[in-house]
Amino acid sequence: MDPANPHVFLDSTSPEIVYSGACTVASVDANNTVGGSQHVCVPTSAVDIKFYGKGLEVFGELDTSLDLKSLLDESTYTPLPSENNGTASGTKGVKLFDLGALSNPHDVHLEPRAGQLFIDYVIYTPVGKTKLDGKVLVYDDTNPALNFSGAWVARSLFASGGNGGGEEERVRALPFNDTLMSAGSGGSSFSLGFVGSTVAVYGAFNASAGVLSASFSVDGSSPSTVTFLNRTSTSSLPEEWTLHQALFEHTFPDTDAKAEHVLNVTVVEASEAQPFLLDYILTTANSHTALKERQFKKTGSEAKKTGLRIGLIILGIAGVFLAWFVWRRWRERRRKAKGGGTLEGITPVKLKRRG
């Protein structure tokens, strides 16, 4: 499949996630969670997720005392090794379970044997037989389907120290996929083409002072400017980032349109201290939403080598046809020589007429 395809996105409240036993909804301390809440499961409880796809991942608040039992299709399963070494307990948005690249329909069963299992959201990669209609799809800021223009900077590795100036080392929650795209001035833009019924843009704010605004347009409509922040002072807690903030939401009048929609976003006001931070985009699939097939395009020396191989193959085929044609002409001439005319050294017999 094309890497530009989105993931299926399940909030912790999705009916596709089935909770049993002592699982509750926690919203008291749920800042920086999707939708403002997360589910909390303790020993004697369980979580089941049935899906058709691959690469299922579970994200939530990290409890370093968590001992998690996992089953895949009723068989004991050992997930991929955790990358959370050094991440503080209580950090939100941490990957807690990774199924890996296993594909097709599966049932994932999770049971906390000690500690607490916090579930904020789940993602998985759809495959050709995944039914997309009605599902929420997520495009991370690193997805190649997004077209960026202007001075954008990728910011990543928040969990392990970051590369954006130091404040990432103290964040108490991680952005989606541990990445953000940052624009520190007005004029930078991005666009996304998709088929679906809704679209929403999510970003983050840091604790610094500053003005932050952007304009949004869908399908060529007049841009609408939204001001998100007009902060005059910096917070005394620089680690207090605000994540999962809905910057723009839109529902299309024709929710089952077949045509591709185009979202255009332009940063109007931003600064290095308070940049525009894009985290992810959510769309809702309709009956016409389909996955893209990978397109292989070769360039440079690789394309030249491929062209040379194709040329040699064509030349070889042409040589075979030429040899066959010459052989056929020779065979035809030989046949005619044997079947007609007077051959040298042979006198034809004259037949006598009776009577």
pLDDT tens figures, 199-222: 999 999 988 889 999 999 999 999
Indicate the range of 90-104, 206-220, 226-240, 264-278 predicted with least confidence: 226-240
pLDDT given at position 341: 45
DSSP per-residue codes, 136-204: EEEEETT-TTSEEESSEEEEE-GGGT-SSSSGGGG-SB--GGGEEEEE-STT-EEEEEE-SSEEEEEEE
CATH topology for 140-294 is: Jelly Rolls (2.60.120)
What is the homologous superfamily of the domain 1-131 according to CATH? Galactose-binding domain-like (2.60.120.260)
pLDDT tens figures, 113-166: 999 999 999 999 999 999 999 999 999 999 999 999 999 999 886 765 555 444
206/331: higher pLDDT: 206
pLDDT tens figures, 251-272: 999 999 999 999 999 999 999 9
| Mean pLDDT on 331-336 | 70
353/274: higher pLDDT: 274
**Res. 354 pLDDT band, cuts 50 70 90:** low
pLDDT given at position 171: 74
Neighbour count for residue 298 (Cβ, 10 Å): 11
Can you tell me whether residue 283 is helix, strand or coil? strand
pTM, two decimal places: 0.80
Secondary structure letter of residue 332 according to DSSP: H
Domain positions in the chain: 1-131, 140-294
**For 48, what's the count of Cα atoms within 13 Å in the CB-facing half-sphere?**
8
Say whether 140-294 and 1-131 share the same fold: yes
